[in-house]
Amino acid sequence: MSLDLSGFLDYLSYEKRYSPHTIAGYRRDLEGFVAFLRDHDVDDFGDVTPTLVRQFITRKHAAGLSGKSLQRLLSSIRGLFRLLLRDGRVKMNPASEIRAPKVEKRLPRSLEIEQVERLLDIPADTPLAARDLAIMELFYSSGLRLAEIAALDLHDIDLASALVQVTGKGSRQRVVPVGGKAIAALRNWLKHRPALASAGETALFVNNRGARLGHRSIQRRLEHWAREQGLDQHVHPHRLRHAFATHLLQSSGDIRAVQELLGHASISTTQIYTHLDFQHLAQAYDKAHPRARRKK
C-alpha cells in the first residue's frame, strides 16, 4: 500500500460531506505528514508506528506550531488511520494514544448590547446598505456562521413564518427563528435585490456584479460599518454570533435552546460562547432539558 491520500480525501468529500475548505485543511496536514514519512524512508501506511507519529508532532511543536494546530494535525492523522483500519488496510492506528499539548480555551470577546445597537443603526437608503443591514441583523438575530450566511439561497428564508433554514457544519441542517428587525431588513433588501442580481442567481445576498456575495466581502463590509459607526474595536462575523449567544443566554438562561440555535453538537462547545462556568451551564441544562433531569 502506498502513501496515497486520494481515497481518504474522497471519503471526506462523498461520505462525510465536508466542505472544500475543510478538505483542503486535511490535505495540507496530511501532505506534510506524508513528506515526513518519505524523509524517513517509509512508503507504506502499514509501516507507520506511534514513534514516527510522535516524532512528527514533536518536530512541529519545536518549529513553533500552536497546541491547537498540533491537535488538528493529530486529528487528521487519526481520521486517516481510522478509515484505513476500517478498510482492513492497516492493523493499528498509530496516532490513537498520542496527545497534543492542552490548549487553553480563550473566551472570545463579546459586543455589548449598546455596541450592537450602534452597529445596526445605519441608514439603509442604498441597495448595498440595505443588503449589509440585512446581513448584520441576520447574524445577530439568528446566530449564524459566516459560511451559513454566504450559502443562503432565496428559498431558505420564510418571511411569513420568520424562519431560516441553515446548512451548518457537516451538512447538518437546522431551522432557526428570525427576529422582527431582521425580517424588516430582509424585506427591504429584497426590494433592492432584483436590480443587482444576475438572471438565475439563487443567492440571497449578492454583490454589485450580481453574483453570490463571498466570505471576505462580508467580513470587509462589517469592518466598514464598524468604522463608520465609530466602534472602537474590530468587528467580524464571529463576534456577532458570540454576541447573539451571550445576550440570549444572559436573558433566558436556557443553555439547551442556545445550543440548538447555534447548531452545536455538544453543550461543551456552547460553553465557549458564554462567560459562565460549566457547572452553571450544566445546572441550566438539567433544568431546561426534560431528559436531562436526574432522579432524586
Mean pLDDT estimate for the chain: 83
Q: Is 215 helix (H, G, I), strand (E, B) or coil?
A: helix
Task: Report d(CA 293, CA 157) in Å as an integer.
Answer: 35
User: Which CATH number describes the domain made up of 113-288?
Assistant: 1.10.443.10
pLDDT by residue (tens digit) across 188-213?
Answer: 999 999 999 999 999 999 999 999 99
Residue 141 pLDDT exceeds 60: yes
Q: Is the whole-model pTM more than 0.85?
A: no
Please report the pLDDT score of residue 281 as a whole number: 47
The lowest-confidence range among 3-7, 175-179, 274-278 is 274-278
Residues 259-296 have pLDDT tens digits of 556 655 555 555 555 544 444 445 555 666 666 554 44
Taking the C-alpha atoms of residue 7 and residue 84, their distance in angstroms, rounded to an integer, is: 9
6-86: what CATH class? mainly alpha
Average pLDDT over residues 224-244: 83
Q: Which residues contact 33 (CB under 8 A, 6 or more apart)?
A: 56, 73, 76, 77
* Residue positions annotated with a catalytic role: 145, 169, 238, 241, 264, 273
Residue 155 pLDDT exceeds 60:
yes
State residue 64's pLDDT score: 82
Laid out side by side, the sheet with 163-167 consists of: 157-158, 163-167, 173-177
Residue spans of the domains in the chain: they are 6-86, 113-288
C-beta separation of 219 from 248 below 8 A = no
Q: What percent of the chain has pLDDT over 90?
A: 46
In terms of C-beta density within 10 A (0-12 exposed, 13-18 middle, 19 or more buried), how is residue 199 classed?
exposed
